[in-house]
Chains A and B, each alone.
Chain A
Amino acid sequence: MSRVTLFSICASTALLLYILEMVRRRRLREEYSILWLAGSVVILVLSLKQDWLVGLARAAGIAYPPSFLFLIGILFILLILIHFSIAISKLHQMNKKMAQEIALMKSNRQDHERGT
């Protein structure tokens, strides 16, 4: 087993455990953990199953198999970031709606207090 494989096994196992622990402690919501978990599982499996990795790398035209692992890692990071951008946009929308509701409610209450 090469050193790079050993490293990727350790790293992905640590990531997997850390994410699971965060979810268990409710510091990370399940919906945001899915992509992290999937990414670390895929990398872990490919690190353990060398022949799968070599086969996939060859199919993708990559001569040095561990590069394929990096590629997978980068793709997952990209996906996660897009997911975050979407989540932020959703929060932004909710935030706007709430601010508008609050402003309208404040004005309603003032009308009420004036007795109209």
Chain B
Amino acid sequence: MLSYFAALDTPREKGSPSMCSGSPRVLVAIPAYREAKAIGKVVSAILNKFPYDVLVVNDGSPDRTADVAREAGATVLDMPCNLGIGGAVQTGFLYARDRGYDVVVRIDGDGQHEIEDIPNVLEPILAGRADAVIGSRFLGETEYRGSIPRIFGIRFFRFLVNVTTGYRVSDPTSGFFAINRSLIEFYSHHYPSDYPEVDAYILMHRLKARAVEVPVRMYERVEGKSSITAFQAVYYMVKVTLSYLINCLRRFG
């Protein structure tokens, strides 16, 4: 079921040194903006089922997102203003870095991602087989049906990622992924701002990270409105393509 899009025999001694002592510490990071209706259910479901810590990064929501998440038992980071999704996710990585977490799983706060799939996304990292695991809605039995422009966009980014990095990825815009300690530290310094997922691949590629895709279930939105409207789709494509190509030229030290 796994689709490997990086060579697994990449010579890399790093593995997971911090995991040797005791069980690895896992943080589930959930960026949230105006998710007061859905976030409570997501947080309490995770806390009931799994032993992971849950962090909600409230990206300056005007509604009760932070209170609801806190009442459900999550740690909440309250951004003083709206930074956009990339900035919020990066704040989660900063928190994980400072608190010494070994793995971060990032999921959406609107209930689109099936939380039962979290262990599947974690497994390759915990087993030391991957540095990053991306949950794909297109592997396995897919229930996901997107709009035509969205599918077109996904095809396009699939092609772009494949041509520039060699990663064979089925779901390049997936916001359901897990990363290990070395990527947490790297992303704490460099993380794209607006629509980070596609961009993140070029960074992974630069680090020679071993990235793996696993099938996950994703659903249509239940509450709230999608962060991407039809008009923004064009801007999204142009902006992501531009920053992606520029990232190819950048140096990271």
Q: Which residues of A contact B (CB under 8 A)?
A: 96, 99-100, 102-104, 106-107
Contact = CB atoms under 8 A, between A and B. Distances in A.
Nearest to A111: B75
Nearest to A96: B87
B81 A99 contact: yes
Contacts of B83: 96, 99-100
A107 B77 contact: yes
Contact of A104 (B81, B87, B98): B98
A104 B79 contact: no
Nearest first, the 8 A-B pairs at minimum CB distance are A103-B77, A100-B91, A103-B79, A102-B80, A96-B87, A107-B77, A99-B80, A99-B79
Query: Is chain B's binding surface mostly helix, strand, loop or mixed?
Result: mixed
- The bracket for how many chain B residues form the interface is 10 to 19
Nearest to A108: B98
Contacts, number: 35
Most-contacted residue by chain B among A100, A103, A104, A106 (CB, 10 A): A103
16 contacts: A96-B83, A96-B193, A99-B79, A99-B80, A99-B81, A99-B87, A100-B87, A100-B90, A100-B91, A102-B79, A102-B80, A103-B57, A104-B77, A104-B98, A106-B77, A107-B77
Given A96-B87, A99-B87, A104 B95 contact: yes
Query: Is chain A's binding surface mostly helix, strand, loop or mixed?
Result: helix
A29 B219 CA distance: 52
A115 to B, nearest CB: 15
Interface string B67-89: 00000000111111101000100
Contacts of A100: 79, 83, 87, 90-91, 94
B98 A103 contact: no
